Structure 1
Amino acid sequence: MTAMNDLDLINAELLGDGTPRNAFSKAAKPGDSLTGEIVEVTRRHRTDETGKPLYWHENRPATTPTTGRPVIDSSLIIQIDCPEDENDEGLRTLRLDRDVQKALREALRTADAQLAIGGRIENFTFVGPLKTGTGRHYCGGTYVPPAA
């Protein structure tokens, strides 16, 4: 296993723009894919564009902590196999929204495994926007657990 430690991640942030690139940004195109090793997991309290923490209110994020239930985002930090250029640290954030979870869940079932640092996600692919409503369709690719 070649999991990065906190110092490796801090150095990558200092040398890069501060955060790993989003694996599937709004500019993602159908067919874009991700292959690499899970090096970190994060869980953060989501904030609005001004930095105020968000809380669940009537099933929607709001800045008023009426329920006390914070909106938490879970993400995987992936060290990709093929960085884009010499300035690319090769780290990508895969935010575990419901659409990503659905695709990743299927890959985990097929592998009969649970996520782990050092595990590999291969060919996780953005298929395109959902035909109804909002959201995105992904193909979970293959999950390979770390060697024991």
Structure 2
Amino acid sequence: MKKPLLLLSLGLLTIACGDQTAPRADFEITTTVSQDVARVGEEIRVTVTATNISGRVQEILTNDCIQAFQVRDAAGRQVGPAGRSCLLVASRQTLAPGASYTITQGWVGDAVGPINAPPPKVEPGVYTIEGQLRLGEHVRVTPVTVRLLP
């Protein structure tokens, strides 16, 4: 008689807790590029779109000062884009479930370096570009790969 009760208890626990191995995501960030092959110094337009997939209204901070993407080398190290100085003026954007926010910025192969000096360039090679809009930890990101030629 105890076995059916135990199975019923496990079934209720599974229903109440859901699948704990699947992380919850509030936003999905997709990244697209104007071209996936370019020469170092040639501009690649990077478009980052954040879509509210949470099922509830979300508020995000937006501005043109924060770099909307990061560039990683084959080892996974962030190598670009270069930092920039600007006046940080943030505004709030409300996203209903299913709504999106999109921003497009350019990258010319500039590497991470000192802000007060001309930025160095990355070496020719294959890089991963992924959107990063600082939306918290519950974000699903889809990166893209680009190849830079000399």
TM-score, length-scaled by structure 2: 0.23
Looking at both structures, which has the greater relative contact order when contacts are Cα pairs under 8 Å and sequence separation is at least 6?
A: 2
More helix by share: 1
More strand by share: 2
TM-score, length-scaled by structure 1: 0.24
